[in-house]
């Protein structure tokens, strides 16, 4: 009888896992959620802006542009933008955005977009549609506006301007995580960070908006990096509880990112 009960419980948990729709949402997004791969790309695009010292408005413009051009996916084929357009922003090597390999590199593509954006006078106060069009010169400039609410919300959360503003609903990890992989991804996105490890936990020295940028980058990349919990400034996100950011005892000036030590944990 006990064995049968255990089997039933395990089966129920397995079915519950398969019913979970893995999505990420941002406070104020108006219900416009992102899939986990889209959220990871959004976190990278926003992190590049943070690393460059650009305002969240720059990231908003970039996210709206990428959503319209590629659905926030690093696609290797062209569309209406042109037969040779590629990547997160559908940039065209024939128009000077870089080599085919470069425009497929999300870091190069994001930096190339921001290089062009900062040349637009007063872009911070322009409508997203206007600013994006001056960079992209799209045949459908009005289309960027439909992504503005989503872009603002995710840019604000991922840049750290909205604490506890990003939440992802995920299934249990498929494999053990590696704190070194988290460090490598975080450094590639946001630049050098002061970090150490304590078992399966990465400890990052950061505070204020930088701490929240680090923490919410980790949540956005939790699926790929097998992250199970993130703790920032008195709040914690737990993958298995799936109840968003909750109060927690977290040391000031430190972000704690913990990875799975085995599949399903």
Residue range 61-81: mean pLDDT, rounded: 86
The Cα–Cα gap between 265 and 248 comes to 20
Look at the block and give the residue holding tokens 């992102």. 34
- pLDDT computed for residue 84 by the predictor: 79
pTM: predicted TM-score of the whole model, two decimal places: 0.90
Mean model confidence pLDDT for the chain? 90
Percentage of residues in the chain having pLDDT higher than 90: 78
The Cα–Cα gap between 144 and 246 comes to 34
Burial of 3 (0-12, 13-18, 19+ CB in 10 A): exposed
pLDDT digits over 211-252, tens only?
999 999 999 999 999 999 999 999 999 999 999 999 999 888
Ramachandran area for residue 96 (φ above 0: left; ψ -120 to 50: alpha; else beta): left
Q: Among 14-23, 52-61, 196-205, which is the least confidently predicted range?
A: 14-23
pLDDT digits over 126-177, tens only?
999 999 999 988 767 788 999 999 999 999 999 999 999 999 999 999 999 9
* H or E segment to which residue 227 belongs: strand 227-232
Q: Look at residue 7 and tell me whether its pLDDT is greater than 90.
A: no
Taking alpha carbons only, the member of 198, 216, 231 closest to residue 155 is 216
Look at the block and give the residue holding tokens 């050098």. 192
- pLDDT computed for residue 82 by the predictor: 58
pLDDT digits over 81-107, tens only?
556 789 999 999 988 898 999 999 999
Q: Look at residue 12 and tell me whether its pLDDT is greater than 50.
A: no
The Cα–Cα gap between 101 and 83 comes to 15
CA distances from 109 to 22, 85, 105 (A): 26, 12, 6
- pLDDT computed for residue 5 by the predictor: 54
264 pLDDT tier (thresholds 50, 70, 90): confident
Q: Look at residue 1 and tell me whether its pLDDT is greater than 70.
A: no
The Cα–Cα gap between 64 and 52 comes to 19
SS (H, E, C) 119-172: CCCCHHHCCHHHHHHHHHCCCCHHHHHHHHHHHHHHHHHHCCCCCCCEEEECCC
Look at the block and give the residue holding tokens 């069009």. 133
Q: Which residues contact 162 (CB under 8 A, 6 or more apart)?
A: 26, 27, 28, 153, 156, 212
Percentage of residues in the chain having pLDDT higher than 70: 89
SS (H, E, C) 88-115: CCCECHHHCCCCHHHHCCHHHHHHHHHH
| C-alpha neighbours within 13 Å on the C-beta side of residue 102 | 12
């Amino acid at each position: 009888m006990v064995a049968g009960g255990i089997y039933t419980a395990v089966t129920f948990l397995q079915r519950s896992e398969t019913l979970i729709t893995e999505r990420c949402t941002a406070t104020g997004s108006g219900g416009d959620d992102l899939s986990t791969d889209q959220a990871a790309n959004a976190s990278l695009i926003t992190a590049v802006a943070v690393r460059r010292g650009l305002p969240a408005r720059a990231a908003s413009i970039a996210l709206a542009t990428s959503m319209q051009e590629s659905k926030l996916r690093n696609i290797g084929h062209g569309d209406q933008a042109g037969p040779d357009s590629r990547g997160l922003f559908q940039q065209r090597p024939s128009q000077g955005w870089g080599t085919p390999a470069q425009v497929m590199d999300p870091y190069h593509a994001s930096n190339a977009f921001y290089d062009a954006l900062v040349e637009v006078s007063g872009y911070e106060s322009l409508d997203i549609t206007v600013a994006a069009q001056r960079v992209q010169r799209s045949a459908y400039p009005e289309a960027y506006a439909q992504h503005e609410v989503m872009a603002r919300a995710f840019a604000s959360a991922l840049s750290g301007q909205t604490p506890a503003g990003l939440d992802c609903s995920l299934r249990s990890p498929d494999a053990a995580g590696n704190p070194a992989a988290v460090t490598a991804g975080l450094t590639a996105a946001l630049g050098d960070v002061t970090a150490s490890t304590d078992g399966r936990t990465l400890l990052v020295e950061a505070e204020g908006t930088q701490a929240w940028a680090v923490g919410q980058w980790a949540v956005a990349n939790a699926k790929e990096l097998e992250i199970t919990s993130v703790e920032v400034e008195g709040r914690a996100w737990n993958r298995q509880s799936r109840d968003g950011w909750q109060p927690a005892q977290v040391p000031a000036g430190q972000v704690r990112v913990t990875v799975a030590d085995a599949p399903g944990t």
